[in-house]
Amino acid sequence: MAAASRPLSKKEIRRENEKLILEAAEKVFAEAGFGGATMQLIADMAGLPKANLHYYFPTKESLYRQVVQAIFQDWLKAADIFDDAPGPVEGISAYIDAKMEISRRHPAGSKVWASEVMHRAPVIQDYLETTLVEWTEGRMAVIQRWIDEGKMDAVDPRHLLYMLWATTQHYADFGHQIETLNGGLPLTDAQWEAAKTSVKTIILNGIGARQNRET
């Protein structure tokens, strides 16, 4: 059937299988929640026997933990954009674009994250208290600097961040609702562009973001 490649080395096998399992797990956890997900279903989706999952990941929780941690990494990475930007127009635009793209390409991850937080973060509370707190404070400082430099209105940086998270992740977490309201069809390329544009327009206007130098 499939193009049988040469036998894989042990390391390759491990890497390959862990990847298969993690990908399947992310989907299943996203669709069913932690409680509703079953190891059997993840195994089927990964195309491996259930016992094999327990060979790589001793418990359901350890598998879940790794899924959530991977998502958290992506989440943070999307924000490096923020720091390098000269002002809110560039920085926030780029951040919205990046997060919207994640919502589009990686909706399962966003859902798992949302579910984890909604359930009071049973497995990544320590990350929230350390990494996320630091990250947030850093970004708030950037926004405050922009305000001090007169590049945008004096809005509360914290609530601006929440709005950015909420609006962008909404397109992943509530994607099903959005699809239903779109006649049951996934958004087209053009519709995604319209969504991005709407979010950027409203938020940038909303905070009175001003270009670095008036044209």
Helix (H, G, I), strand (E, B) or coil at 186: coil
Q: Kindly determine how many residues on this chain lie close enough to bind DNA according to the rule CB under 7 A.
A: 23
Side chain identity at residue 16, one-letter code = E
Q: Which is closer to DNA, CB of 37 or CB of 96?
A: 37
- Cα–Cα distance measured from residue 161 to residue 64, given in angstroms and rounded to the nearest whole number: 27
Is residue 96 within 8 A of residue 199, CB to CB? The reply is yes
Distance, CA of 89 to CA of 29 (rounded, Å): 36
Find the binder of DNA among 19, 31, 59, 180 (CB under 7 A).
59
What CA–CA distance (Å, rounded) separates 131 from 124? 10
Q: Which residues, at least 6 apart from 194, have a Cβ–Cβ distance to it below 8 Å? A: none
When asked if residue 34 is in the footprint of a second copy (CB under 8 A), the reply is yes
Interaction mask 101-120, a second copy, x per CB under 8 A: ----------x--xx-xxxx
Q: Which of 63, 160 has the CB closer to a second copy?
A: 160
Token match 């992740």: residue?
169
Does position 61 interact with a second copy (CB under 8 A)? The reply is no
Residue 45, interface with DNA (CB under 7 A)?
Answer: no
- Residue 176 makes contact with a second copy by CB under 8 A: yes
Tokens found for residue 4? 């049988």
Residues 156-175 that bind a second copy (CB under 8 A): 156, 158-160, 162-163, 165-167, 169-171, 173-174
Closest by alpha carbon to 75, among 56, 52, 57, 101? Answer: 101
Residue 61 contact, options a second copy, DNA, none, Cβ 5-8 Å cut-off depending on partner type: DNA
Residue 51 binds to DNA (criterion: CB under 7 A): yes
Question: What spatial distance separates the first Cα and last Cα of the chain, rounded to whole Å?
Answer: 61
Q: What are phi and psi of 65, to 5 degrees?
A: -60, -45
Residues lying near a second copy in the complex (CB under 8 A)? 30-37, 111, 114-115, 117-121, 125, 128-129, 132-133, 136, 153, 155-156, 158-160, 162-163, 165-167, 169-171, 173-174, 176-178, 180-181, 184, 194-195, 198-199, 201-208
Residues lying near DNA in the complex (CB under 7 A)? 7-11, 13-14, 17, 37-40, 48-52, 54-55, 58-61
